[in-house]
Amino acid sequence: MTVTYVIDGSGITGLDSFWDAVGEAVNGPGGYFGRNLDAFADCLGGGFGTPGDGSFVIEWRDHAQSAHALGHAETARRLERLLPRVHPTGRAGLERELAEARAGRGPTLFDQLVEIITDRTEPGTLRLM
């Protein structure tokens, strides 16, 4: 039996609300399903109260609204928060990513989340609606 997890993109206003939406979609109200990109990828791999134990589909409704909310501006905000904590050897790369995001170029958080889902799950698992 295939389980469908519905992400309601209409309520996503930024990365924090995405984490809330995906956590609730998979694990119910107040549910956890990662709060950063690495944890999200790990959760998709299974073993964390996740769909990794069976067949599932992620149906991302109103994904266009999510794409806007998780666009370059939100990507830049995330990178700005990471900058003070980045290891000195990674600082130049992060600053380049930040400059690109501020200029409206490069992958957005939405792009990164879609890539994580498609890389960590079976083909056809993600349905953008």
Tokens of 18: 């995405």
- Regarding whether 41 and 19 lie in a shared domain, the answer is yes
Residues paired with 59 in a beta bridge: 6, 127
Mean pLDDT over each residue of the chain, to the nearest integer? 93
Same domain for 37 and 83, yes or no, is: no
In this structure, the answer to whether residues 116 and 128 fall within a common structural domain is yes
- The tokens for 11 are 């309520």
Q: Domains in the chain: how many in total? A: 2
**Could you read off the pLDDT of 57-66 as tens digits, one per residue?**
999 999 999 9
Question: What's the pLDDT band for 109 if we cut at 50, 70, 90?
Answer: very high
pLDDT in tens, 79-94: 999 999 999 999 999 9
CB atoms within 10 A of CB 70: 26
Our measurement of the distance from residue 2's CA atom to the centroid of its chain's CA atoms, rounded to an integer in Å, reads 22
Nearest alpha-carbon partner for 5 in 62, 50, 67:
50
pLDDT category, 45, cuts 50, 70, 90?
A: confident
pLDDT greater than 90 at residue 77:
yes
Verify that 81 and 95 share a domain, yes or no: yes
CATH number for the domain harbouring residue 53: 3.30.370.10
Do residues 101 and 89 both lie within one domain? yes
Domain that holds residue 101: 72-107
Rg (CA), the chain: 15
Do both 12 and 48 map to the same domain? Answer: yes
**Judgement on whether residues 85 and 122 belong to the same structural domain of the protein:** no
